[in-house]
Structure 1
């Protein structure tokens, strides 16, 4: 039996609005004059858990569409932001507690990356953070939520699964439906009406719960997953 932890990327492994703002700056060329001001105001609301948007990318795209920006322009703006991922134009940081967690996890735990983003710049970032070799598999342009299901099913066939992400509907709902454990991180973690196994505004806040999950998931353990802290 091989337990698996599946991580999302943006807002989960990588934190910071750098790529979102790079996306917005590019989209702003075709939007209204006050577009960037409105984006920043909505991002501030989202960071405080007071926004109805899924994440920063949803903020940028929705407000741009309201200004009449077409999909081709938005797609070009998004791909531009991804091409700058991790640079001074689109800075991100590893989630607090991430590198320490991956260093200490039992090598019997499979670590998988599954993201809707393209792979532009992600491998280089993982390398620069010193964690690239810890990932057993990396999946890009997954097409969540539906596209996550085959990844989950394959992992569940091998053992227990914990799916970690910042958007419940995309990262966690498919996992929960298939019987996997889930961890919600980010701005919506405290206010979400959903029922993930673990939740915390930042990754480091749920690290104790992840440690407990790994002890329960490894074959030698008998700690019940239902005793995990919320």
Structure 2
């Protein structure tokens, strides 16, 4: 068997609100609303404590922008502005502690795939700076989750078990679960989400041992195409 693990990027491999606060600043600059960034900070705090049902920090900021009547084109352009800054001091992110060693070990048991809705701007450079760019067998940007994740999961399931890891149930996990894959929920909603998940933890680092154990067990499963009983020959 050849198991596959699909990782989300923002909120899963990339930690911190740096890009989201950059998104809020860009909206403030494009609209001339000097108080927007402050309201966005409050919205992020409310999301972190479970006072809102936003899917993630980007969703929390987008909601208050829409409530303020900000045009969708302005929101989209502001998002692009923030992604161009990814990894800089103006949109800083961190990786989970011990990520290189974890992925190196995991890669001996499974195929590793990065699948994100974000554009590639800055992501490849970040992966290189973290020392994990070569750890992934495939990298997919601007996937268009949730629907865009479905063909990736189907292709992976054709070769073995699949584990989808992410911080947004609707985008990262639900498409996988519907197709019979296992799921790992990380991030701010890990404890309060009522969604079913195979495993869950505050951070990806909290699940290192469980994910490695899953991959090791999945890689030892017999290949049905090679172990099926041959049909009896005609006598």
Pair in the same fold by TM > 0.5:
yes
Asked whether the 8 Å contact 1:181–1:197 carries over to 2, the reply is yes
- Corresponding residue for residue 92 of structure 2: 91
Asked whether the 8 Å contact 1:9–1:115 carries over to 2, the reply is yes
Asked whether the 8 Å contact 2:164–2:181 carries over to 1, the reply is yes
- Corresponding residue for residue 143 of structure 1: 144
Alpha-carbon RMSD across the aligned residues, in angstroms, is 1.4
CA drift of 1:106 comes to: 4.2
1:165-209 per-position Cα deviation (integer Å, ceiling 9, x unaligned): 000010000000001000000000000001100001111111121
- Corresponding residue for residue 107 of structure 1: 108
Asked whether the 8 Å contact 1:12–1:166 carries over to 2, the reply is yes
Unaligned runs of 5+ residues in structure 1 are: 222-230
Asked whether the 8 Å contact 2:25–2:37 carries over to 1, the reply is yes
Mapping 1:35-114, distance limit 5 Å: 35-114=36-115
Counterpart check, 1:215 vs 2:216: yes
Distance 1:49 1:97, change over 3 A: farther
In structure 1, C-alpha distance between the alignment counterparts of 2:107 and 2:71, rounded to whole Å? 47
CA drift of 1:31 comes to: 6.1
| Secondary structure of 1:163 counterpart | strand
Of 210-219 and 45-54, deviating more is: 45-54
In terms of Rg, which structure is larger? Answer: 2
In structure 1, C-alpha distance between the alignment counterparts of 2:100 and 2:192, rounded to whole Å? 27
Runs of 4+ more than 3 Å apart: none
Asked whether the 8 Å contact 1:31–1:69 carries over to 2, the reply is no
CA drift of 1:105 comes to: 1.8
- Corresponding residue for residue 195 of structure 1: 196
Distance 1:45 1:126, change over 3 A: same
| Secondary structure of 1:146 counterpart | coil
Residues paired across the two proteins, number: 221
In structure 2, C-alpha distance between the alignment counterparts of 1:208 and 1:31, rounded to whole Å? 48
- Corresponding residue for residue 21 of structure 1: 21
- Corresponding residue for residue 226 of structure 2: none
CA drift of 1:107 comes to: 2.2
- Corresponding residue for residue 161 of structure 2: 160
Give the TM-score normalised by structure 1: 0.92
